[in-house]
Structure 1
Amino acid sequence: MAHDYFGGLTGWDFEGFHSGGDTEIWKKFGAHHITVADDEHGSVDGVRFAVWAPNAQAVQVVGPFNWWTGDDLRLIPGSGVWGRFLEGLEEETLYKYRIQGPDGVWREKVDPVAAFSEQAPANASIVYKSRYAWSDDDWMARRSEARPHAEPMSVYEIHLGGWRKGKSYLELADELVEYLTWQGYTHVELMPVSEHPFEPSWGYQVSGYFAPTSRFGKPDDLRHLIDKLHQAGIGVILDWVPGHFPKDEWALGRFDGTALYEHADPRQGEHTDWGTYIFNYGRNEVKSFLVSNALYWIQEFHIDGLRVDAVASMLYLDYSRDEGQWVPNQYGGRENLEAIDFLRYVNRHLYEREPGVLMIAEESTSFPGVTKPVHEGGLGFGFKWNMGWMNDSLRYLQLDPVYRQYDHNLLTFAMVYAFSENFILPISHDEVVHGKGSMLNKVPQDDWRKFATLRAFYSYMWSFPGKQLVFMGSEFAQRPEFDESTSLEWWVSDLWGHGGLQRLFRDLNHIYREHPALYELDNDPEGFTWINADDAGHNALSWVRNDSAGNHVACITNFSAEPLRDYSIGLPAVGTWEEILNTDSLHYDGSGQHGNLGAVEAEAEPWGHFSARARVTVPPLASVWLRRNAQP
């Protein structure tokens, strides 16, 4: 053979992989269509294969190019990596690895670092080389200078297969971009698009960490969708799942016949609730694999942020385990020290490599310092989902208005810890599945009260400290629960109530983005001042949001079925306060009982801790926002 058998790879190329320091493993592992020097022909084209299987007795690559009979790979000296260059292979050819484990059994496996895969239920890996030319230079330049905590962020969470069933990445690049632009969201969050075998897992059980699912097209088609979103000024967040992976025999599990990516001990290596394996975060090669995967999506697909799924399951060794079914750490505690070190590593690395990127933790416990910098002892995330706010506010929402006064603290308690982390307020897919009911059906009583309550709730949410996230379909109050096998019920957005709520979401997003008082100081106590936190008898809450330039937005929400007329509030400045939102407007399918005639006057009369006082009318189950700009 006249050319290099390993396509230019040597054992030295994998030193970083074995030390946990290689953060770009996709450039060496997987299948790469390359040109290599050849003594006879000068150069030849082909595909270089490389796969980590240190305990294997033998490894073959199989595909249509060898009638699925197998070409032998060899161990690259000193690496535990098997490789081979095969000349003449075309791009987009299918392949798998056949691996003989230490037990002598041959197992057929897909490539852990494949860039593309067959569409489920088929699973062969596909040789793929991107030729996409990006057109989002302006967006990427702005991202590198971004200050996410001081900028608006309203996120639309989406399951690509269920938004409009049957749409491809290319079709979504037109339809989704147009819709998000009209609605005014700043970001879209994609539920995992990494290749996965089981559609009802929604992508949370990943079999191809480096391969976008082929259900909607090719990898460059996804790049086109992201590019179009960026050109429209919309950021893209991707759900990332480093906490566990499925047990499918052809995927990562027991990859070379041994527990390679996962812990061998089921007390550390399996989630019995989910039927999945847990990554071995203490293994350097696993660290390299996962941190490279995170960087891969950000660099190769221009993803703007990663929402890390199920962080709590990573942090605690006893997560969802009975006594005696878990192994304490070296100090006898329940914290998973290796996972904590890994999360700190990936967060620190990504923020250093890609300024402006978003790292978001879906973490449901009170673990301290989730969004505290690593150098200060934190986990280093940029944001954390505020699951406490979500649980409390949804409990309140489901109460009949006459009983809400007895649980008023459900809406006020979140301010006790509002500035302890950098929060995102999530109303996600998890809240509208598995018998929990849609948002509309959580609310008691008739349709008028249901829609009015939702309008008040979302305005309360959009004015509360923290960024916002809402799941698709919630913006027009779809009645059924989320079902990935069908499209959203778009037709209802033409109906009374549904269309009004959808129009409100559009206005909420645009008003929010136009007023820095609603977002600039989200993580600073100076950005929020209670007007009245204690009016449980009226089911009312009121506060002022402030920005650094001295502008104010006063937000008053009435969660009772009775109007608040001539309701006395304190305000930080005298003069005219313009009404910029009233959720009872006829435009939103409300009753149109405004009462404030577009503005209220604040008099120089002390009220509580404020220097001015005004009287405002707030319709039943409604919110009113008032604006007072700083004087020039």
Structure 2
Amino acid sequence: MTTPDGTTALTLPELSDEVLAKVASGSFYNPHEVLGQHLVDAAGVSDPITVIRTLRPFATEVSAVLSNGARASLTHLWGGIWQGFTLTGLNDYEIEARYDDGSVWTADDPYRYSPTLGELDLHLIGEGRHEKLWEVLGSRIETKRGVDADAEGTAFAVWAPHAKAVRVIGDFNGWDGTRHAMRSLGGTGVWELFIPGIGAGSNYKWEILTQHGQWVQRADPMARATEVPPLTASVIGESSYTWQDGEWMTTRAATDPHVNPMSVYEMHLGSWKPGLDYRTLADELIPYLEHTGFTHVEFMPLAEHPFGGSWGYQVTGYYAPTSRFGSPDDLRYLIDRLHQAGFGVLMDWVPGHFPKDEWALARFDGEALYEHSDPRRGEQPDWGTLVFDFGNSKVRNFLVANALYWLEEFHIDGLRVDAVASMLYLDYSRKEGEWLPNQYGGRENLEAISLLQEVNATAYRKYPGIVMIAEESTSWPGVTHATSRGGLGFGMKWNMGWMHDTLAYIAEDPMYRMYHHGEITFSFIYAFSENFMLPISHDEVVHGKGSLLNKMPGDHWQKLANLRAYLGFMWAHPGKQLLFMGQEFGQPSEWSEERGLDWWILDQPVHQQLLSLVGHLNRVYRENPALWALDNEPAGFEWIDGGSSSQNLVSFLRWDSEGNPIAVLMNFSGAPVGPYRVGLPFGGRWDELVNTDAVEYGGSGVGNYGAVEAEYVPWSGRPASVELTLPPLAALFLKPHRD
């Protein structure tokens, strides 16, 4: 080659045909080594010159247009690779390519930019300790510094350690990644590329060359937005949302949710009122929560999932809110509005398994990567899904950072971790010979235990005031004990035993409940072994189980009366409450994600009255610390009489830390009981806070005229007592009257 003035002959370093062929096909592991601009020593020139190479297949003429206006003509080198040089050092430049049809395309060169990840980021990724992984992997709109000027574009990075090459494909390159091959950043397994000139809204995927020589296309595991399913591309996203919930977040950080009222309304966003999106839901949901009095809403999983019938529990986009209901900023708007209205927001999180869709996480880079390679550890037979390799530090990092992502980026107030039992036991749902013991020969999944401890400890450390909740269906010890004591570190655990036993009891005809009394009282024996939440969740009203209303015995009036009593018992029992949508007004049909709730039933006054009762229970609950302040301490509960099995009666006291009680009297029989004498800690007037048999709630109106007068007549070891009437199928809450 000769210099631009034609006076000096140059001999440039040669590149092998093998390297050139790989660069031309987009399969070279380090295309930046060849493409872009490079200072090189050339024979015949004393100072280094700048060589510029670019890939422009099918072009007939290619030039580099420097930022100072000068042009460097490039000559075709090999297979669409063009090469030229300048003597002016490194420059900002664009590539201009002409084609046979006369068209001219000018674009910035991705290969002239330095790596988008720093050494510290790579070090933390390598160790599996990057707590903000979403800020360095995936797609991020960035401003990159050139030689003289900045450039706007998108930085792409992906973890694919088994890949031989990775390309970015998208609507910005006609889904042909040849010109957008990524470079390997070494032993971390990370590949990266900065593409100038593209921004939010562009669709993309990864194209990965496997060890077996096949190109496979994958959605981005770190994508923060996606196309609307069934489309599967990732979307470059950028948040422009300005939060307005500063007061909520400040108060939250100074509040311990475990010892404060928490009454949770669980909902499936798509079937609450079909047709609502994130923004319009705010206008409908907030007034409803204000009317019903719940303190929190819990959304079933909102991370992207391909099959709506999975309800979100088979996740393909762990960092992307589902696009079915709008953009990530639209979800931020919904959460912000809920916070400003005074409601906490919980969300289901699913680290236990993921689906086998070939375009997503499964065999991501051609090999088992996110999943364990041994099917005895890496597959979940119950759901036909794959199980994360919890022992891989980078997979752990992916999951830990994901939990933090929702707490950080979306101000979520707590995560309910799904199917914890499936993570804890290596033999979960497996027969003998189908599971692999741990290193000590046991059935405990030590790596999953460690992951859960890390997630919980990190979340509580970084975000004071949040709550981590476990759906754990066995008697695993220490689910809500501190990790420093060997516990899993959750703040709360769903009390599945309470749910199972009480639903079995309430389903019995009152005539036979005396033979099942232990099912309604057993939960009090272990009520303080963990920090419990009492769930009547979506799982109890699907798959042939019927609605909560239709679990109750008797005719329609009796069903409603039993349901009112059951809810009264639930709100009085130690622990937080969770009720799935529709049960608050006695939905008659089983829930289905394919249709909306039975809102029409509210045209019947008795169902409106049930809804009013739930609102009243929630208000009484929030206003009386005796019902929540000592939820997790034995001092907060005391039996009055738990042994009246022949009469189907249960009575107990709830206490707050100031010594204020509420007496709870449950009559699960089908007839009034009275006169009935009850021992109480104080004499004087006791106000009737709740009577689920009140006429205004659809009951028969049996009661005590709003208050009773306790005498200092000792009874059952207590200094005072009162004689009263217990309504049929009802709960009574009594509180000492204080002037």
Tell me which residue corresponds to 1:232. Answer: 341
Q: Aligned pair 1:270/2:376, yes or no?
A: no
Out of 137, 160, 179, the position equivalent to 1:29 is 137
Q: Helix, strand or coil for the counterpart of 2:283?
A: helix
Query: Structure 2: how far apart are the matches of 1:46 and 1:443?
Result: 60
4+ runs of 1 displaced by more than 4 Å? none
Q: What is aligned with 1:66?
A: 173
Distance 2:258 2:322 in 1: 31
Aligned residues of 2:421 and 2:472 also touching (Cα < 8 A): yes
- CA distance in 2 between partners of 1:263 and 1:100 (Å): 21
Once residues 292 and 497 of structure 1 are traced to their aligned partners in structure 2, the CA distance between those partners, rounded to angstroms, is: 47
What's the secondary structure of 1:627's corresponding residue? strand
Q: Which amino acid is the alignment partner of residue 35 of structure 1?
A: T
Counterpart of 1:582 (choices 691, 713, 718) is 691
Q: What percentage of aligned pairs have identical amino acids?
A: 55
Distance of 2:541 and 2:533 partners within structure 1: 18
Amino acid at match of 1:31: S
8 Å Cα contact 1:11-1:78 kept in structure 2: no
1:160 matched to 2:274 = no
> Are 2:258 and 2:467, in contact at CA under 8 Å, matched by a contact in 1?
no
Query: How far apart are the structure 2 equivalents of 1:172 and 1:139?
Result: 20
Indicate if the aligned counterparts of 2:415 and 2:468 stay in contact, CA closer than 8 A. Answer: yes
- When structure 1 is superposed on structure 2, of 110-119 and 1-10 the one drifting more is 1-10
Q: CA deviation at 1:7?
A: 4.6
Could you say which residue in structure 1 is the equivalent of 2:736?
A: 628
Partners of 2:541 and 2:635 lie apart in 1 by 34
Bigger drift between 304-313 and 31-40 goes to 31-40
Matching residue of 2:713: 605
Give the match's secondary structure for 2:181: strand
Match for 1:517 among 626, 635, 647? 626
Report the Cα distance in structure 2 between the residues aligned to 1:624 and 1:159, rounded to whole angstroms: 32
Report the equivalent of 2:443: 334
Q: Find the counterpart in structure 2 of residue 112 from structure 1.
A: 221
Name the structure 2 match of 1:186. Answer: 295
Quote the Cα distance in structure 2 between the aligned partners of 1:516 and 1:453: 26
Query: Which residue in the other structure is 2:159 paired with?
Result: 52
Highest relative contact order (Cα 8 Å, sep 6+), 1 or 2?
1
Structure 2: how far apart are the matches of 1:10 and 1:572? 67
Write the distance in 1 (CA, Å) between the matches of 2:618 and 2:388. 39
**Distance in 2 separating the partners of 1:409 and 1:516:** 28
Q: CA RMSD in A?
A: 1.1
Q: Which amino acid aligns with 2:139?
A: A
Query: What's the CA shift for 1:182?
Result: 1.4
- Report the alpha carbon displacement of residue 408 of structure 1 after superposing the two structures with TM: 0.4
Aligned residue for 1:402, secondary structure, equals: helix
Shift of 1:4: 5.2
2:727 to 619, 623, 632: 619
For residue 591 of structure 1, report the CA deviation from its aligned partner. Answer: 1.5
Distance 1:4 1:242, change over 3 A: farther
Of 502, 522, 525 in structure 1, the residue corresponding to residue 611 of structure 2 is: 502
Offset at residue 178 of structure 1 (A) = 1.3
Give the 5 Å matches for 1:57-456: 57-70=164-177, 71-456=180-565
Letter in 1 for 2:729: L
Aligned with 1:543 (options 652, 656, 662): 652
* CA-CA distance at 1:152 after TM superposition: 0.5
- Separation in 2, partners of 1:17, 1:241: 22
Say whether the 8 Å CA contact 1:6–1:84 is kept in structure 2.
no
Give the AA of the match of 2:491. G
Structure 1 contact 7–36 (Cα < 8 Å) conserved: no
Say whether the 8 Å CA contact 2:168–2:182 is kept in structure 1.
yes
Is it true that 1:39 corresponds to 2:147 in the alignment? yes
2:730 partner amino acid = A
Letter matched to residue 478 of structure 1: Q
Paired AA for residue 29 in structure 1 = L
Does the aligned pair in 1 maintain the 2:113–2:146 contact within 8 Å? Answer: no
Q: Which runs of 5+ in 2 are unaligned?
A: 1-35, 37-91, 93-110
Preserved contact between residue 164 and residue 487 of structure 1 (Cα < 8 Å): yes
Give CA-to-partner distance per residue, 1:370-408, whole Å, 9 cap, x none: 000011111100000000000000001111110100000
Confirm or deny that 1:488 pairs with 2:586: no
Aligned-partner residue type, residue 553 of structure 1? I
Question: Which residue identity is paired with 1:218?
Answer: S
CA distance in 1, matches of 2:690, 2:466: 32
Cross-structure match for 1:467: 576
Residue by residue, what CA displacement relative to the aligned partner does 1:89-138 show, whole Å, maximum 9, x if unpaired? Answer: 12110000111111111111000000000010001000001011000011
Mapped to 2, the partners of 1:249 and 1:377 lie a distance apart of 38
Contact 1:10-1:77 at 8 Å conserved across structures: no
Cα distance in 2 between the residues matched to 1:78 and 1:623: 64
What CA distance in whole angstroms lies between the structure 1 residues aligned with 2:378 and 2:645?
48
Per-residue deviation, 1:14:
2.0
1:623 CA displacement: 1.0
Using the size of structure 2 for normalisation, the TM-score is 0.84
Amino acid aligned to 2:163: A
CA offsets 1:173-196 (integer angstroms, 9 cap, x no match): 111111111111100000000000
After TM superposition, the score normalised by the length of structure 1 is 0.98
Task: Give yes or no for contact 2:424–2:445 (8 Å, CA) kept in 1.
Answer: yes
Q: Distance in 2 between matches of 1:405 and 1:568?
A: 20
Shift of 1:12: 4.2
Displacement of 1:427 in angstroms is: 0.2
Task: Output the amino acid matched with 2:548.
Answer: M
- Verify: 1:532 aligned to 2:641, yes or no: yes
CA–CA distance in structure 2, aligned partners of residues 14 and 253 of structure 1: 24
* Secondary structure in structure 2 of the residue aligned to 1:576: strand
Amino acid corresponding to residue 34 of structure 1 in structure 2: E
- Where structure 1 has 5 or more consecutive residues not aligned to the other structure, the ranges are none
In the aligned structure 2, how far is the partner of 1:584 from the partner of 1:136? 40
Check whether the contact 1:6–1:76 (CA below 8 A) recurs between aligned residues: no
Task: State the shift of 1:283 in Å.
Answer: 0.4
Aligned length: 629
Q: Deviation per CA, 1:301-334: give whole Å up to 9, x if none.
A: 0000000000000000000000000000011000
| Counterpart-to-counterpart distance in 2, 1:369 and 1:63 | 48
Q: Residues 125 and 188 of structure 2 are in contact (CA less than 8 Å); yes or no, is this contact kept in structure 1?
A: no
Output the amino acid matched with 2:303: S
What is the letter of the counterpart of residue 709 of structure 2? E
Compared CA separation, residues 601 and 573, structure 1 to 2 (3 A): same
Is residue 2:15 matched to residue 1:15? no
Displacement of 1:272 in angstroms is 1.4
Distance 2:186 2:374 in 1: 30
Report if aligned partners of 1:11, 1:79 keep a CA contact under 8 Å in 2.
no
**Partner amino acid, structure 2, of 1:111:** D
Task: Find the residue that maps to 2:182 and give its secondary structure.
Answer: strand
Higher Rg: 2
Instruction: Say which SS state the counterpart of residue 617 (structure 2) adopts.
Output: helix
Question: Could you say which residue in structure 1 is the equivalent of 2:31?
Answer: none
Which residue does the alignment assign to 1:573? 682
SS at match of 1:509: helix
